[in-house]
Amino acid sequence: MKLKSLFAGTLCVLATCPSYAQNLDREIEGPLHTVSGREFQTYTEYVDSGLVGIDPLRCISHKAVAGSFSGGADCTLGFTNPSSAYDPVEIIEINVVFHVLRSTSGTQGNITLAQLETQIDILNEDFQGLAGTPGANGFNSAIRFKLADTDPQGNAATGVTYHDNTSWFNDSGNYWSSTSWDATRYLNIYTNNASGSLGYITRFPQESGAGTAVDRVVALWSTVGRNAPYGFPYNQGRTVTHEVGHYLGLFHTFQSGCGSAVACYTTGDVICDTNPESGPEFGCAVGSQSCGSTDPIRNYMNYSYDTCMQNFTQEQSARMRCAIEHYRPLVGTVIPGGLGLPYCEVVSNSTGLDAVLDASGSSEVSMNDLQMEASDMPMNQFGYLLTSQTQGFVASPGTSSGNLCLGGTIGRYVGQVQNTGGTGTFDVPVDLTMIPLSPPVAVQVGETWNFQVWFRDQLITGPTSNFTNGYEIMFE
């Protein structure tokens, strides 16, 4: 099945077309889409056909044809330069606000905070290629996401707003005008019926209007989060991953068909390390080929099933980081020193909290000022730091709860055993010249090391110890 250019012949962006509904119904030359042998001439005809659940429009985002509107010559709408300047040396953190648009009665479109938190987890798994997750095969772009904990006025927030309005739930009306948080500083994600698609964006970062209230990601509410109510095959949160990829400047892997092999940074999806593809993948046909190479069916920017999607590439990472730097500079906060990527599931301890490991100082080997900080542990218990260059996810049997997040050869800072005291916290200085292996080793520039804290938890029945999350640091 081939999806033809959804926006050929129009220069308007979804929300700025004379009529949004008209844009969805716009007649185009040739069939829009062929599903189960039926051809559809309009979007609404397709959505009303009853076949959406079989083969929905994965997204109705477009590739703009206008020129760029600001700097960033390395990642314009028509060119990518995957320069080493955009290597993921430092962590870029993006504040997300979900606007949950429900029907007036609140009965349609509701998504719990817990479910939205799983979507944040999925974004981090996918954009960071976290080991032990479905995104493990992807490149670590060092872009991470968090629910905004402060609103534009500086008030404490959950990063989620709820609005009960059936018109808005049906993706009608200028709902963004009154609900958007400062789009230069927040990624605004709206959930509703997404006009019959799985999702879309209204602005690529290089386009006019990026950073204004209209600039947003829209996702079908039932696809959001892990094990979402949509059901197979679009229930593992990859709709939001796909659309956020667009929001950060990526095009579909099949953009404009095969493009040119000798001009892959200026044709097709303007990325060379994604194999060219003549049309989208609507399932998971492993090994399918077009354009003389294997199709990138596992890439998040295809139309594949959620469970089929597994990766962004290194050059896609460079393009996204370039787009943040030049077109969305305020939406991403660079974490000083390039510190850390938390990973690995945490099991709550006797305090009812998840013990968390964080870091301060610098990831620069020459500075040697790294400090690992564990918190939310039970009071007056003992613990110590672990480290390894290998990640692992092993449910610990016997006397321990939680997961051992390390694999391979593990170093133990048993000479620095600490008591959590009355605050349930402790800090461990890490001497990068003396990692406690046998024999001790020194951290080298370019190496990645993982850290975790084991601690006693004798205030509960059953297992008597637990773990924090794992924490990954790439040293420079």
Instruction: Please give the average per-residue pLDDT across 243-271, as a whole number.
Output: 95
395 pLDDT more than 70: yes
Comparing 69 with 304, the larger pLDDT belongs to 304
132 near 146, Cβ under 8 Å? no
Domains and CATH numbers, the chain: 60-326 (3.40.390.10), 339-474 (2.60.40.10)
Confidence bin at 179 (pLDDT 50/70/90) = very high
392 pLDDT more than 80: yes
Token look-up 């080991």 returns 131
Confidence bin at 400 (pLDDT 50/70/90) = confident
Instruction: Please give the average per-residue pLDDT across 344-369, as a whole number.
Output: 86
243 counts as catalytic = yes
Q: How many Cβ atoms sit within 10 Å of the Cβ of residue 401?
A: 19
Burial 220-247 (b: 16+ CB within 10 A, else e): bbbbbbbebebeebbbbbbbbbbbbbbb
pLDDT in tens, 414-454: 989 999 999 999 999 999 999 999 999 999 988 889 999 99
319 pLDDT more than 50: yes
Least confident of 30-34, 315-319, 327-331, 468-472: 30-34
Distances (CA, A) of 408 to 209, 236, 391, 443: 49, 30, 8, 16
Longest dimension (CA), the chain: 73
Measured distance CA(272)–CA(265) in Å, rounded = 6
Q: How many residues does the chain have?
A: 476
443 near 365, Cβ under 8 Å? yes
- The residue annotated as part of the active site, out of 125, 207, 243, 325, is 243
Measured distance CA(67)–CA(69) in Å, rounded = 6
